[in-house]
Amino acid sequence: MRNVLAKIHKGSGEMAAATIRTIFAQADAQAVRTQLHTAAAMLGRPFPRSKRCC
């Protein structure tokens, strides 16, 4: 999580952290992978450098 937060604007940190937390809330490995790809896509649009961390 620190790697991603280091790549984005400080004002967007809470939004990015909340998005990343949804990955850890998943029940099984397949759901984690799916949510990881979803979160990377969501964060990658406004913060292209953050997508490389995932």
Predicted local confidence at residue 29, as pLDDT: 97
Task: Encode 16-49: b = buried (16+ Cβ within 10 Å), e = exposed.
Answer: beebbeebeeeeeeeeeeebeeebbebbeeebee
What is the pTM for the complete model shown?
A: 0.73
Q: Which residue has the higher pLDDT, 10 or 54?
A: 10
Q: In which band, very low, low, confident or very high, does the pLDDT at 8 lie, cut at 50, 70 and 90?
A: confident
State the Cα angle at 38 between 33 and 27, rounded to 5°: 40
Domain boundaries, the chain: 2-51
In this prediction, residue 10 carries a pLDDT of 82
Give the residue from 27, 26, 49 showing the smallest Cα distance to 36.
26
Which pLDDT score, from 0 to 100, does residue 12 have? 85
Read off the pLDDT of residues 9-51 as tens digits, 9 standing for 90 and up: 788 888 889 999 999 999 999 999 999 999 988 888 877 766 6
